[in-house]
Structure 1
Amino acid sequence: MISFTTFILTLLALFSLSLSAPMRRDVFVPPIIYPRASVVWIAGQHHNVTWETDDAPVNITNGIGRVYLATNTIIDLDHPLAVGFNILDGRVAIQVPSVPTGQNYSIVLFGDSGNYSPQFTIVGLQ
């Protein structure tokens, strides 16, 4: 018969093993739905950046989102458009920054990874 002490020590050993076992985390790369390639934004306007969340895994590595503007795929990390939102929200409101007029802008959504929207146009303030 197992003693009470042996039983408790066995339970503690199993518990410590379960704590040390890594929890499986999945990288979530949601496709950006808006803005699309045909979109024209005006500096100073407000828009919702939106992304797909239907296929989100249960255990996301990083569920805290950030949105940046990129020009020619170069991300402006010094001026985030939105930070600290739940990546599973599927959207976040941003204000279009005052930038030079151009057709080579993209939105970059960070959480687990950085994924780019298609390039679109921003009309800067004159």
Structure 2
Amino acid sequence: MTVFPCLKISSRDLLRFYQEAFGLRLVAVFPPEGEEVDHAQLRLGDGAIMCGTRGATEQPLGATLTYWVLPDAAAVDALYARAIAAGATSVREPYVPDYGGRECGLADPDGNGWSFGTYAGEPG
């Protein structure tokens, strides 16, 4: 099974922000031009999100939180610094949670939450 977090975004500018701030790679966007985005897909490693300015539901902006697993603590720190430099808002600076690993919390310009960390979940 594959799961795609789906974000409602305010404009096509968020696609550029995700690429610059978080290093996501734009895989698809429809329509290819214009301000409205019916569907976009972005990837980071094995993970992906889908997003658009319109949708079947009236999800409010800023209502989504995603968690991305990174390979090590250095990657968490580097992504946090990159995202802050690109204009992301810090929700929580990189830290070591009680369950181990390292993670940080950020918000995009629409208020969606982005967590990046090394904790890959418990096996099983």
Q: TM-score range by the shorter chain?
A: under 0.3
TM-score w.r.t. the length of structure 1 is 0.27
Of structures 1 and 2, the one scoring higher in RCO (CA 8 A, sep 6+) is 1
TM-score w.r.t. the length of structure 2 is 0.28
Which protein is bigger by CA-based radius of gyration?
Answer: 1
